[in-house]
Structure 1
Amino acid sequence: MMMKLKKTLQFCALAGAIVSNSSGATESRHYLEHRLEGNALTIETTDGEVTLTPINDDSVAVHYRREGVKQLPSFALAGTRRAPVETSIEESAGLITYDLGDLHAVIRKSPFAISYHRDGETILSEETGFFATETMRGFRFALAEGEKLLGGGERVLGMDRRGRRLPLYNRAHYGYTTESEQMYFSLPAVMSSNKYILAFDNSATGALDLGASDEDVLQFEAVGGRTAYIVATGDNYPELVENYVDATGRQPLPPRWALGNFASRFGYHTEEEVRETVEKFADEGFPLDAVVLDLFWFGPDIKGHMGNLAWDRGAFPQPEEMMADFRERGIQTILVTEPFVLTSSERWDEAVAAGALAKDLGGKPMRFDFYFGNTGLIDVFDERGRDWFWNIYDGLLQQGVSGWWGDLGEPEVHPSDTVHAIGMADEVHNAYGHRWAQTLFERQSAAYPERRPFIMMRAGFPGSQRYGMIPWTGDVAREWGGLKPQVELALSMGLLGFGYTHSDLGGFAGGEEFDRELYIRWLQYGVFQPVYRPHAQEHIASEPVFHDRTTRDITREYIKLRYRLLPYNYTLAFENSQTGMPLMRPLFFEPDSDPALMDYKDAYLWGNDFLVAPVTGAGIDAVELRLPGGVWFNYWNDDQHSGEKATIDVNLETIPVLVRAGAFIPTVDDMATTRDYSSENLTLDYYAHPASIESSGYVYEDDGLTVNAFARDRYTRLHFKAGRSAGGIRFDFRRDGGGYPGEPQQRNMHLNIHNWSLQPSQVRAAGKEIPVLESKRDFEQASEAAWLDQHANQLRVKFKWDRQALSLDVRH
């Protein structure tokens, strides 16, 4: 405790809390008294109240309130019921220490300021802290020398954003490439190399100044909104993410079909065209799980129809039958919707009568012009707007729609003088997509509690992930410059809870002619990103089935690989739902990795065991990438790599994909749709290496549809463990969970032990000897056997595994 107080007093000597009053003059803020309300600490100061509410042992929400300063509700904080945090308070003449467990908030009484401590170290300190004037409000925090700051939402600026001033206003950036400081999905939050996340619970137009104006100060400023922030901490970066999403909400597990292949373009004009496209996927042998319909489903052309949100029966005469036919084949239908209702649309009068639209300053429905026509905007902050909007969605769900694509939800055009139920446009702009997703998620969950929502949107706010929001990176240019920043965008979003951020595969905007190499490279990368959805303007087909034979053959194999990897990928989705860990992870998440990897954006971890580096330039035959430590195998040929860097040879059919030594990579048989998923035939590729004496892994399974399957014990986890010894290697297999409908009662296991050249003297499974065969043909015909594939340097073992724990021993 003395070390903490010493460091706090050192900080206090450097910083002071300054209050800005309405005249622009400044004065110090001072402590008056404090009280505990439950385990929350409220402090009265000469400038109003400050409440610190513990979220968990490592995280706290802080809310400053001054008389006359309007407050909005919290959008970022999850209303999750959780066990109370045990807190304690120590007070001295000049300090109050508020102890949450691992995190300590130290409040200096005069001048008032709060600093945050962990393990005896100061990790974050208010500089002048909260400020408010007639036109601006915000916070100032001190920055440490050498501290890196990541996050801030979708930006193309490099991973470390320190030294930047980031606009906080969700805004479309059409056709972006290798640089963008303002895009669709801004986040008023950062992750620090000092292992804290600082998120501002404020939805208003503003800026996040990360040492741009003052190199030692992080300043958040906004024109209005809630004067509150969240501090989350952790011993390491994965724990930090977990503590942050505990505060802002965990992403629910999506339906399994969300991890399949989507057919999508801007756009399908007729029912006949959609049906022909689906048939083309089947004819060409491509798996398919969903078809996405852009705005032509409700109108014959681009302009004048937005807000209809009803089938154009001329172009789509029998949509219910079409969707039912697709569902019979395991293919879901996703519709685009937008929050704008044009004055020319069939629903304008209906929306006005329902009071569903945001108002102008005279109290009438706000009207303004944008690309699609003269329009109003649904007020998702008003119960009447939410009711009206939801009734449309509910009708479409009853017709057979499976998922939603919410477009233009920044909102793309949002005049400042628009009046919403809880405030002006600039006060709530950045929470518009968040409240839209909340409406869909909560209403659908209430009406259809056994259906997992699918909600894809391009704008939101901290915490939007708890409403199942699946973001994409907007209208990226269809060129190499558009592919290059996609890893940076996905990683930056994943740090702050948005683990399903993905790109329009192949690029969306522009492109004069088809670039086969670019297209193949983008779709190869897509296998190892959260959602597999090629999408583009229609003058160049976005779907691989409409391209040349070489393109079809290469992309078909990659999409099939995506499906074979479903047990691995679905397990990543499960882990995200439990801990917030993103599916795409930066290399610096590895223990004891080089701190310089915080800046690295050319490669990433896909889950725990894959390391992937997209090829982002033309004519490349080798890629040099950084390694985070350990030994890695080339997924395509088993070459081994270690040290700080690796150079991977590639051709048009391969990109750098490495597998961690000691990893278990589970795969299943090919399938036409994720509905056909089964682990009855389960292959485990185990990557043996002397440096990995013991290792483990698991696969999570449920029926792909049941809501809260894990909490309801309607799941199975298959656990795998390997341990090397002088005499050989031992594998242990066990399962837990209550099971799920359709689960195999017995699994045909195919264990491939990579990097293994020793002929086994004995192989035993569950105490029974497995015959070791000499020929590949005999091995393939046997139901249980072992065979040393000397060419591949692999030992292959086939055995059966029922629901009981099982051990398999391989002796030299």
Structure 2
Amino acid sequence: MMKQTLILRGCALLILLYSTLANSADLRQYREHQLKKNALTVYTSDGSVTLTPLSKAAMEVHYTREGMKQLPSFAIDYSRQRSVKTKLAETESTLTYSTADLTAVIHKSPFRIEYLHRQTPLIGEEIGFFINETMRGFRFALSPQEKLLGGGERALGMDRRGQRLPLYNKAHYGYTTESEQMYFSLPAILSSNKYILLFDNSATGTLDLGASEENVLQFEAAAGRTSYIIISGESYPQLIEHYVDVTGPQPMPPRWALGNFASRFGYHTEQEVRATVDKFAEEDFPLDAVVLDLYWFGPDIQGHMGNLSWDREAFPEPEKMMEDFRQRGINTILVTEPFILTTSKRWDEAVAADALAKNLAGQPKRFDFYFGNTGLVDVFSDKAGDWFWNIYDGLLQQGVAGWWGDLGEPEVHPSDTVHAIGTADEIHNAYGHRWAQLLFERQTAKYPERRPFIMMRAGFAGSQRFGMIPWTGDVAREWGGLQSQMELSLSMSLLGFSYTHSDLGGFAGGEKFDRELYIRWLQYGVFQPVYRPHAQEHIAPEPVFHDRKTRNILREYVKLRYRLLPYNYTLAFENSQTGMPLMRPLFFEDENNPELIDYKDAYLWGRDFLVAPITEADIDEMEVKLPGGVWFDYWNDDLYIGDTAHVEVDLKTIPVLVRAGAFIPTISDIDNTRDYTSAKLTLDYYAHPSAVTSSGYIYEDDGKTVNAFARGQYEKLDFSASRNSDGITFNFNRTGGGYQGMPEQRHITLKIHNWQQAPAAIAADGQELALFQREKDFSRATEGAWYDKRNDQLLVKFSWEKQPLQLAVKNQ
């Protein structure tokens, strides 16, 4: 008996050993290959791998085995046309599969794939794909010095190498300077070697960036799609452009999304909302949107989630309220959540519509969380999608202008929850993605002329193509909370999410109002994607409810946000075309400086602003790293050259620098974006001998037409400057098919900064302009010039119609 037992145990060990070896990539060998259409499939000893070029610089690599469940790709934008020229070469030991920019070298024995950008090595599989009973994933060999950015929202530093990152979207309430797991994880990294590696897998997992083994990148998942996407580029901006070409670009938001929001947790009644909107007007603060948190559907925090309809006792006439706001140019945004409480008015309706995720017995899955006993809408189900969308559509017809999707990680998601395409652990990280897709596709199908506004705090790679605007969750109302925000927004922007922003002022906690912290946070907000102060209501998040000093300082910043609309809207346009972030890390300017990769205390706002938010108390001077070049202080024209700027500040200023040679366009003050016009335009030009030639442009459309650029319903205003010993020549040109409301003529005030002498003459298309000796006379004139000797500025007024125009400033 003992001998028989030992034999059985020995057999079991042999079986286990065989199973382990069979699942090891060490035994994977090349068998044959097939080139079909535009994909290469290689058959190996343990399955197959298909390499599909997605562009000249990107390739999907999909490993499969018979009987292994696969989920659809969530990351790839299949709506984009893809026709890629490829080449295949074979030797005795390799297959070489190439596009114009990206080459995959497939080693036959032992089987592995390495990648090159043209002739430059990028990364290679170590053992590549692996699978066992509880885990599947990939292993890659890292080069010793490369830095790894990305992974989604984390407060860990820009370079995440050496970290082991959970891939499970999870709320982190009250975070400050450190968080390894937050609301929005991304299974993707951007390398200093100029490649992006994206794992197209929505399941619960881990991204190990050399933490367990120094030079091994390991992706692990509990289940899901066994594919990755490799993307290459010549520069970081080009790399991002190639990434969004694969995952889809962010569509242009409505112009009002760049305005000021009134928001808090939360407004309890219609009267309170109306009074708040009136207060913004009384205090002369521009306002474009008001955001209603969960009290719009119930009087208490708990027990009402899932009603998804107005509490008519607190909001007796919401349709009229929203219409009154619309007449004033103010848009209403409602919070919604995907949880339907069993105590809500919609529970029975949701069950009858088969709209809820199931338990293992096939019944609606019920579980407890903070807000009550609940079910979860199955956004992966067509039936649930129909039911959920009909509710949203009804609210749109009432006058709602935008959506705030909250708790969409989902915040609570039991592992035994069954969705239409898989279990919770298989699709958890794609839940917010699918929710955004549902809203975006249904709304654009029914209202094709309306740009959606969809703000959510969780999603997946590619969610930006559904117009998703993420925010960074329930950050602590502390200096540490502010200190993490630049890193979070910059990290997300590198992987397509350029509208990632924070609850300005901080959301969670805070025993009393900290004026300095609040002012510094809202000053930073002018130069980040969405201007939305939001917080728990025991300290007002809206600037209009604070003391006079606070109001007076922040009023000017909110107005500056509106004056900069031509610049900011152009950033939104660039992002929609190329994925170029609105907030850009300084290493974009100096790609050979590894120190700048780790630097997160300053960033570029667009091409021409360099911003260094103040994130500590009692600061009167900031040391700011510069990426080379010449920079001017936006507030006083002080000049900075070199690697570092020491910028003096007070409570009214933060370091904001402007690039030499830049054109900064601004408009006059307005109440909200409904009143936007560039008929009167100020162009601040920052002259310097180093900027011999320079150029800039403004993108303009009506702020609301979907795909305005593709339709030709836009105008681009192009500016250039060329400097020589005799003076400087400016050229102005207008292109595009035009748009409704476009000014036929623009009145331009050109401010030339850093100009040390009065001109001998100024001519517009050969016609000399008057040179005024007094500012008073110049201010009354519609055309002419005045030299401000005290500030070293030359100011020129002129009219610009549709034809190109040349303005010449002669020094002698």
TM-score tier (shorter): over 0.9
Match of 2:104, SS? strand
Residue in structure 1 matched with residue 257 of structure 2 by the alignment: 258
Distance in 2 between residues matched to 1:161 and 1:80, nearest whole Å = 32
Query: What's the secondary structure of 2:303's corresponding residue?
Result: coil
Q: Following the alignment from structure 1 to structure 2, what is the Cα–Cα distance between the partners of residues 26 and 35?
A: 21
For 2:709, what is the secondary structure of its paired residue? Answer: coil
Alignment partners' CA distance in 2, 1:310 and 1:23: 56
1:68 Cα deviation (Å)? Answer: 2.1
- Equivalent residue number for residue 178 of structure 1: 177
Contact persistence 1:255–1:705 (CA under 8 A): yes
Counterpart for residue 567 of structure 2: 568
Q: Which digits, 9 at most, give the CA deviation of each residue in 1:119-138, with x for residues without a partner?
A: 32211100100001111000
| AA matched with 1:46 | S
Q: Secondary structure at the match of 2:708?
A: coil
Aligned equivalents of 1:90, 1:593: Cα separation in 2: 34
Partner-residue secondary structure (3-state), 1:742: coil
CA distance in 2, matches of 1:27, 1:469: 42
Relative to structure 2, which stretch is displaced further, 650-659 or 582-591?
582-591
- Say if 1:790 and 1:42 are closer, same or farther in 2 by CA, change over 3 A: same
CA deviation string 1:598-652 (max 9, x = no partner): 0000000000000000000111101101000100000000001111111110000
Equivalent residue number for residue 614 of structure 1 = 613
Shift of 1:48: 1.2
What amino acid sits opposite 2:710 in the alignment?
Answer: A
Whole-angstrom distance in 1 between the partners of 2:25 and 2:676: 65
C-alpha displacement of 1:56:
1.2
Distance 1:331 1:80 in 2: 33
The aligned residue for residue 494 of structure 1 is 493
State the SS of the aligned residue for 2:711: coil
d(CA) in 1 for partners of 2:111 and 2:24? Answer: 17
Residues 190 and 494 in structure 2, CA contact (< 8 A), matched pair in contact too: yes
Query: Cα distance 1:593–1:790, how it changes in 2: closer, same or farther (>3 A)?
Result: farther
SS at match of 1:244: helix
What does residue 99 of structure 1 align with?
A: 98
Alignment of 1:280-319 (within 5 A): 280-319=279-318
Q: Is the 8 A contact 2:25 2:127 kept in 1?
A: no
Q: How far apart in 1 are the matches of 2:207 and 2:536? A: 34
Structure 2 Cα separation of the partners of residues 121 and 716 of structure 1: 40
Aligned residues: 795
Residue pair 1:686, 1:754 contacting (<8 A) in 2 also = yes
Aligned to 1:141: 140
Q: Deviations over 1:515-545 (max 9, x none)?
A: 0000000000000000000000000000000
Aligned partners of 1:19, 1:266: CA distance in 2, in Å? 58
TM-score, normalising length: structure 2: 0.97
Aligned to 1:711, the other structure's residue is in SS state: helix
Q: CA deviation at 1:485?
A: 0.5
Scaled by the length of structure 1, the TM-score of the pair is 0.97
Which residue in 2 is equivalent to 1:509? 508
Structure 2 distance, partners of 1:537, 1:811, is: 58
User: For the residues of structure 1 that align with 2:276 and 2:324, how far apart are their CA atoms?
Assistant: 14
Instruction: Tell me which residue corresponds to 1:9.
Output: none
CA drift at 1:378: 0.3
Q: Deviations over 1:189-239 (max 9, x none)?
A: 000000000010000000000000000100000000000011111000000
Q: Which residue is 2:451 aligned to?
A: 452
> Are residues 593 and 625 of structure 1, via their aligned partners in 2, closer, same or farther at CA, if it must alter by over 3 Å?
farther
Asked whether the equivalents of residues 593 and 628 of structure 1 are also in contact (C-alpha less than 8 Å), the reply is: no
Asked whether the 8 Å contact 1:22–1:133 carries over to 2, the reply is no
Secondary structure at the counterpart of residue 665 of structure 2: strand
1:728 matched to which residue of 2?
Answer: 727
Is 1:335 equivalent to 2:334 in the alignment?
A: yes
Say whether the 8 Å CA contact 2:23–2:130 is kept in structure 1. Answer: no
Change (3 A) 1:549 1:101: same
**Alignment partner, residue 239 of structure 1:** 238
Instruction: Name the counterpart of 1:683.
Output: 682
Aligned-residue offset at 1:75: 0.3
Deviations 1:366-415 (A, max 9, x none): 00000000000000011111111101000000000000000000000000
Structure 2 distance, partners of 1:55, 1:348, is: 43
Q: Percent identity?
A: 71
Aligned to 1:554: 553
Contact 1:520–1:551 (Cα < 8 Å) also in 2: yes
Q: Which amino acid is the alignment partner of residue 672 of structure 1?
A: D
Which residue in the other structure is 2:464 paired with?
465
Give the distance between the partners of 2:38 and 2:200, measured in 1 at CA.
Answer: 21
Name the counterpart of 1:415. 414
Q: Contact between 1:22 and 1:134, CA under 8 Å: does it hold in 2?
A: no
Specify the code of the residue in structure 2 equivalent to 1:511.
G
Cα displacement (A) at 1:32: 1.4
2:666 aligned with 1:663: no
Give the alignment of 1:373-772 within 5 angstroms: 373-592=372-591, 594-772=593-771
* Offset at residue 596 of structure 1 (A): 1.2
Which SS does the other structure have where 2:710 is aligned? coil
Aligned to 2:776: 777
* Aligned counterparts of 2:197 and 2:29: Cα–Cα separation in 1: 24
Q: CA deviation at 1:82?
A: 2.3
The alpha-carbon deviation at position 420 of structure 1 amounts to 0.5
Q: CA deviation at 1:584?
A: 0.3
Q: CA deviation at 1:21?
A: 5.1
Correspondence for 1:189: 188
What letter is aligned with 1:369?
D
SS class of match (1:96): strand
Shift of 1:44: 1.1
Q: Is the 8 A contact 2:169 2:428 kept in 1?
A: yes
Offset from partner CA, 1:309-342 (integer Å, 9 cap, x none): 0000000000000000000000000000000000
Structure 2 distance, partners of 1:150, 1:579, is: 20
In the alignment, residue 401 of structure 1 is paired with which amino acid? Answer: V
Deviation at 1:19, TM superposition (A): 11
2:312 and 2:18 map into 1 onto residues whose CA distance is 62
Q: What's the counterpart of residue 370 of structure 1?
A: 369
Shift of 1:457: 0.2
Q: AA paired with 1:677?
A: Y
CA distance in 1, matches of 2:173, 2:152: 17
SS at match of 1:151: strand
Say which SS state the counterpart of residue 710 (structure 1) adopts: helix
Contact 1:199 1:231 in 2 (8 A): yes
- Matched residue, 2:6: none
- Aligned-partner residue type, residue 110 of structure 2: P
**Structure-2 change in CA distance of 1:160 and 1:19 (3 Å):** farther
Contact 2:100 2:118 in 1 (8 A): no
Answer yes or no: is the 8 Å Cα contact 2:26–2:127 preserved in 1: no
Q: What amino acid is aligned across from residue 166 of structure 1 in structure 2?
A: L
Distance in 1 between residues matched to 2:593 and 2:113, nearest whole Å: 31
1:683 shift after superposition: 0.4
In the alignment, what sits opposite 1:792? Answer: 791
Q: Distance in 2 between matches of 1:708 and 1:120?
A: 38
Paired with 1:270 and 1:525, the residues of 2 have a C-alpha distance of 31
How far is the alpha carbon of 1:783 from its aligned partner? 0.8
1:209 partner SS: strand
Output the amino acid matched with 1:541. A
Take 2:429 and 2:456, find their aligned partners in 1: how far apart are those partners?
13
- Is the alpha carbon distance of 1:23 and 1:194 closer, same or farther for their aligned partners in structure 2, counting shifts above 3 Å? closer
| Secondary structure in structure 2 of the residue aligned to 1:300 | coil
String of CA shifts for 1:276-296, please: whole Å, max 9, x gaps.
000000000000000000000
Structure 2 residue runs without a partner (length 5+): 1-16
Q: CA deviation at 1:595?
A: 2.0
Per-residue deviation, residues 706-760 of structure 1 (Å, max 9, x unmatched): 0000000000000000000110000000011001111110000000000001110
Kept in 2: contact 1:20–1:131 (CA 8 A): no
CA distance in 2, matches of 1:31, 1:67: 17
User: Is contact 1:147–1:194 with CA below 8 Å preserved after alignment?
Assistant: yes
Q: CA deviation at 1:61?
A: 1.0
